[in-house]
Structure 1
Amino acid sequence: MAEQERMVEAILFATAEPVTLPQLAGRMPHGCDPAAALALVRKRFAGRGVHLVRVGEAWAFRTAPDLGFLMSHEIVETRKLSRAAIETLAIVAYHQPATRAEIEEIRGVSVSRGTLDQLIELDWIRLGRRRMTPGRPVTFIVTQHFLDHFGLESARDLPGLKELRAAGLLDSRPQPGTEVEDADQAGQNDLFEDDA
């Protein structure tokens, strides 16, 4: 098992993108148990400068959260997203799978094809399954790259209303008659007003 642990460690260190269990199994010799080897690697790196973390259905080494400040000089911001792109991304993340019509209904304005193309090009959203409704519209969902960028295991780990308000990102009191107020009363995680 020690040799399998070394193999998993080598594959994960050499790969830029997170690696799934089937991908590990495909690279390792027949008869290996990548799941058991992953558990050993994760245990061995607990408390170290890098951690083995789950990103969706895949695994990757990431800098320990408390040491992130050491990497700040390596962060390069190439371009900022427009407000329309940020709103669209947030709607897809919180309401996925979301159709273009649903995004437009929540935002209250039409979505530019360029906005969706930009988010697809950044590999933050991708096309999902077609809805089984008239016209069979395509849906949009967030990608593994999006989850990895924000340090999330799944979209269920996105912050809710209470966390966003505590961080000062939302008004502490919603406007009367808005969907946000209604969602608060129902105990749901809806972030957007119809007239946003």
Structure 2
Amino acid sequence: MSDPIAEAIARLRARQGPQGGDGQAGPHTRAEPSQQALRMAEALLFAAAEPLDAETLAARLPAGTDIPATIARLQEKYADAGVRVTEVGGRWRFETAPDLAHLLAEIREEPKKLSQAALETLSIIAYHQPVTRAEIEEIRGVAVSKGTIDLLFELKWIRLRGRRRSPGRPVTFGTTDTFLEYFGLAAITDLPGLGDLKAAGLLSSRLPANFDIPDPARLADNEDPLDDEDAAHFHLDFLEGAEDEREE
């Protein structure tokens, strides 16, 4: 006959997890995500119009779901599939496998082709952020047209960051998460090397010896955040004294 006391003790031990040889609980092991959690995360990423961050996923998955482990399992599942789970700007999304991109070439929406001036301006903002209009012009050696800045704003690749603590309090520019998503970058530090861009003529050859890529999410020591009124009227700063300037 079965011993109900022994069975109850066995069930309690099973709930407590593995134990060491001295009867003490062994080291905690990370629980594998449930099949239901994997299916839910898969559905969320598939249906989302934009990449999802860990907080958004955690709010919609069962309580206690290990988000990194869930993402890792999905990445393993789709490693050799026609789509894959990738990280962009600290968030995740489904995207087409690189070797199949040609299948979408005829139907993929392409943005406006960037002019050389816009490409140079975008590169300077990406590597020098936070950067002011005057600093962009100093590096390029020519005036920055309002049309160039407007195009980069229209593409949602740049944003207003703050105000420089200097005479005139000029606004500063930086890149956005949309910029990272479009170019498939997990973080701004994944940009191409400085040497490559300098060789292509996209960066100033007079960079400081210890120049590195700044953190676009953090205000610089000489920068203050913009308030709503500043953001609504920044064009006054941009246009001031620039009516007769033209892009070369």
Q: TM-score range by the shorter chain?
A: 0.7 to 0.9
TM-score by length of 1: 0.78
Q: 1:26-175 alignment to 2 at 5 Å? A: 26-163=59-196, 170=200
SS at 1:47 equivalent: coil
| Alpha-carbon distance change, 164 to 89 in structure 1, aligned in 2, over 3 angstroms | closer
The structure-2 alpha-carbon separation of the partners of 1:34 and 1:46, relative to structure 1 and needing over 3 Å to count, comes to same
Larger Rg over CA atoms: 2
Superposition deviation, residue 20 in structure 1: 0.8
Distance 2:162 2:90 in 1: 18
Q: 1:127 to 1:75 in 2, by over 3 A?
A: same
Q: Which residue of 2 aligns with 1:174?
A: none
- How does the TM-score come out when normalised to structure 2? 0.63
**Distance (whole Å) between structure 1 residues aligned to residue 103 and residue 177 of structure 2:** 25
8 Å contact kept, 2:37–2:62: no
Aligned equivalents of 2:183 and 2:171: distance in 1?
25
Q: Which structure 1 segments of 5+ residues have no match?
A: 172-177, 191-195
Q: How many residues align?
A: 180
Output one character per residue of 1:140-175: Cα deviation in whole Å (capped at 9) or x when no partner.
11112111211211222221254458xxx737xxxx
Considering fraction of residues, name the structure with more helix.
Answer: 1
Residue 82 of structure 1: how far off its partner (Å): 2.8
Percent identity of paired positions between Structure 1 and Structure 2? 51
Query: Quick one: distance in 2 between partners of 1:133 and 1:91?
Result: 20
Q: CA RMSD in A?
A: 2.8
Q: 1:4 to 1:133 in 2, by over 3 A?
A: farther
Q: CA deviation at 1:13?
A: 0.3
Contact 1:160 1:189 in 2 (8 A): no
The residue type equivalent to 1:99 in the other structure is: T
Question: For structure 2, which runs of at least 5 residues remain unmatched after alignment?
Answer: 1-33, 214-247
